[in-house]
A and B are shown apart, each in its own frame.
Chain A
Amino acid sequence: MSEDLRAPVAFTVMAVLLAIVGFTQSWSVSLSVINLCIISSIMAIGVNLQWGYGGLFNAGVMGFTALGGLTAVLVSHDPIYEAWDKAGIGIVISAIIFVLSITTLLFVFRNIENKQIRNTLIILIIVFGLIGINNFYGPSIDIIESINPAKTGFLGGLGLPIIFSWLIAAVVAGLVAWVIGKITLRLRSDYLAIATLGISEIVIAVVKHEDWLSRGVKNVSGLDRPVPYEIELQQSEWFLNLVERINFSKLEAMQSLSSRQDLLNDLVIDSSGIFVKLCYVGLFFSVLLLIFYLSQLALNSPWGRMLRAIRDNEEAASAMGKNIFAQHLQIFIIGSAIIGIAGAMLTTLDGQFTPGSYRPLRFTFIIWLMVIIGGSGNNLGSIFGGFFIWFIWIEAEPLSIGFMNMLAGGLEYDNPLRMHLLGSAAHLRLFIMGLLLLLALRFMPRGVIPEKIQKK
C-alpha cells in the first residue's frame, strides 16, 4: 500500500472498530474508550517528540503523568486554611532550607577546586540541611496530617478551576524535566532510559508517601469537573427538551402516557452520561488538535529540521555548530510538558488522583508501544498508535476471556484447568502487547504510519 494511503485507512479502521464497540457493547463504553484514547494519543505525541524527532529514550513517562495528576489536585482542590495556618510556615521554611542547601551544594561543587575542602563542605551542608529540614518538616507534617485525616489531612490546593491545571501541569512537568534533563541528557541513550525510569519511580515514591502534599495512597477524590454533572443535566429544562426532540419518533410510538414518561426518564439518564462524555471528548479533542497542530508546525520549521539532523547524525550537526545538549534539553522539556498536560487531563477525567495506580507498565511502556507501532517520527502515527493500542489494551480482556472459553470448551464447568485458564485470561493482554511490539519491530520497524522522508 502506498504510504500516503496508510493514514486514512488506519484511521478508518479505527473508527470502524470504535463504532463496532458502540453498536455491540454501548455508546457509553465506546465514548469512555475514546476519551482515554485521546489522552493516550497526547502522551504518545509527547514521547514521539522526544524519541521520534529527538532520539531520546525517556522511560520516565509515568513520572510526568503523575506530576500532571498532582498538579490537577494542587490547582483545583480547595485550600485547607486550617493546615496552612497551623503548619504552613514549617513547610515553607523547610522548603527554603531545601532549596538553599541544593543551591549551595551546586555552588560548592562547581566553584571550589580543592578536593578536601570541597568534600568537607558537601558533607557539612548535607548534615546541616538534613537537621534543619527535620526540625521544621517532621512536626509540621504531623500537624497537617492530623487535621481532619479522614477527609483532607493535606495542604490542599489553590481552589482554581481544574482546567487551568492543564496549562500549569505543562509548566510543572517542564520544570522537572529541565532538572532531570540537566542531570541525564549527557548520557548515552540507554543510560538515559535507565536514569529516567528510576527518576520516575522517585517521583511516584514522593507522590505516594508525602501525605501532606498529595494525601498519598489515601487518594484525593471528588475533584471538580470542567463539564456539567449528570444529575444537573437531568434536572435542567433545556436538556430534557433536547432529549425529547432527538428521540421524538421513539417516544411517539409509545401507547400510554406513563410508559412514554418511563421511556423518557431512561433516555434522559442514558443521554446525560453520554452527554458528559461527549463534552469531555470535545474538550480533549480540541487539546489534541491544538497540540498536534503546534507540533506539526514546529517540526516543519527550521528548528524541526535541525532536530532531525541532530538525531540522524550528532557529529555532523555538532560540526555545523549546533549545541546538541541544549537542543536535546529543549525537546526533552517540551515532550515532558505535553505528557504532563495529558496527566492532568487523565486526573480530570477520573475526577480523582490515585498515586497507587501509577505503574510503569501501564504508563510508560504502553505509551512506548503506541509510538513505535504507530510510527516513530510521525505525529499522526502517534495519534493512531494511541487509539489503536489503548483500544487493544481495553478490549483484549473480553477477547481473551472469549478465547479461553473456546480453549476450555470441552471441559467440565468446575474443571481446575478450565478455572485456571479463565482466571489467567487477564494476563493474555500482556502477551498480546509484547507480541504486537515484537512483530511490529520485526516486520514494520517504521510503524503503521511511517515518518515521511522529505526530499528536496
Chain B
Amino acid sequence: MENFEFINATVLLANFVIVPALSYGSQLALATLSLTIIYGVLRFSNFAQADWMSFGTMATILFTWLFQSIGITAGVLPTALLALPFAIIVTALFCLLIDRSVYSFYRKQKSQPIVLMIVSVGVMFILQAVVRFIIGPNDRKFFDGEKYIVHALDFKNYFGLEEGLTIKSTQLITVIVALIAMISLFYFLQKTKLGKSMRAYSNNEDLALLSGINPEKIVIVTWVISSILITTAGVLYGLDKSFKPFTYFNLLLPMFAAAIVGGIGSPIGAVIGGYVIAFSEITLTYAYKKFFVYLLPENLEPSGLMQVLSTDYKFAISFIILVIVLIVRPTGIVRGKII
C-alpha cells in the first residue's frame, strides 16, 4: 500500500508539473534561442521578438485555414504542421523586408545597441498593429487531429491507480519538434561552414570581415533562422494552448528572463534558461497539498495548499529568478557575453 501511494504521488506530479513544464519549456527554449541568435549576431535586444512570434503564428493559422478549406489535413497530426513551412517563408521574407527598410540603416551607421533596441520598439508597435489588423485581437484555437496520446481515464483504469496521467499529442509534438529544431541548429552552428562563419561574426565582427565573411549574408541567415525558430515556437505554443496576440506579447518577458538566466548570447544557455524558467514557473505555483497527502502519514498531512507562490504571480516568477540571477551571477548560468 505504501508503495502504491508513492506511485500515485509521482503520477500526480508528472501530470501537473513535469509534462506541462517540459512542453512549455521546449516552446520557451525555441523562442529564447531566436532571441539569443539575434542578440548574438546583430547585437541588440529585440523587443519585437514576441510579436514576430504572433506574426508567424498568424501566418500559420491563415495557411491552416487555407488548407482546411481545400480539404488538406494531416490526419492525426494537426494541419498547422503542414502550414508551418509556408508560414516560415512568409515570416522570414517579412523579417528581411523590415531589416532592409529599418534595421540596416542603423547597422551601417554602427548605432549603439540601445538605439537598435528603441527601433525594435517601433517595429513592435507596427507588428502588433499588423497582426491585430489581419486576424484580430481575439483568442483563436487552430488545433485539429488527435487530441490525446494518453488520457487520464484510460491511464487510471489500465494501471488501477487513483491518479491519471494525461499526455496531449501537442505536448509530445512540442518536445519532438523542439528537439529536432535544437539539434539541427546546433549542428548548423558547430559543423557547417555558414554556421561557423556566423559564430565568428558574432564573436568578433572585424576579424570576421577581414577573413572574407560576407556580413550581409550573415544577417540574412540570422533573420531566417530566427524566423524558423520563433514561428515554430509560436505555433507549438498556440497548438498547446491558444493564439492570442496579447498573450504572445506577454511571453516577451519570460523569453528575456530565460535568455539572461541562461547567459545572453549563448545558444546552450538559451535552452537551459528556457527550461529553468518554465520549470520554476510551474513548480513554484503548483499546490503540493495532494502530493503530500499521498506521501505523508495521516497525522502529518498539511493543512494549507502547500504552494510557494499563488498562481497570480506566474509571470512575476520569471523575473524574480532574473533578479536573483542578476545579483548572484550576472553572466547567467552558462557564461554569456560580458555585461
Contact = CB atoms under 8 A, between A and B. Distances in A.
Interface of A: 57, 130, 134, 138, 183-184, 186-191, 193-195, 197-199, 201-202, 205-206, 208-209, 361, 365, 368, 372, 423-424, 427-431, 433-435, 437-438, 441-442
B94 to A, nearest CB: 14
A203 to B, nearest CB: 9
**From DSSP, what is the main secondary structure of chain B's interface residues?**
helix
Interface string B194-216: 00000000000000000000000
B133 A424 contact: yes
Interface in B283-339: 304, 308, 310, 312-313, 315-316, 318-320, 322-323, 326-327, 330, 339
B121 A437 contact: yes
Contacts of B260: 191, 194
B135 to A, nearest CB: 10
B118 A183 contact: no
B121, B130, B264, B319: which has the most chain A beta carbons within 10 Å? B121
B124 interface: yes
What class of interface size applies to chain B in its complex with A?
A: 35 or more
B113 A198 contact: no
B147 to A, nearest CB: 31
Nearest to B246: A359
B236 interface: no
B221 interface: no
B275 interface: no
B133 A428 contact: yes
A57 B114 contact: yes
B45 A431 contact: no
Contacts of B326: 183-184, 187, 191, 195
A218 B282 CA distance: 26
B44 interface: yes
B119 A431 contact: no
Contact of B319 (A186, A202, A368, A431): A202
B327 A201 contact: no
A152 to B, nearest CB: 20
Nearest to A202: B316
A173 B176 CA distance: 47
B312 A427 contact: no
A190 B44 contact: yes
B319 A434 contact: no
Contacts of B308: 130
A431 B130 contact: yes
A363 to B, nearest CB: 14
B97 interface: no
Given A199-B319, A202-B316, A424-B133, A442 B105 contact: yes
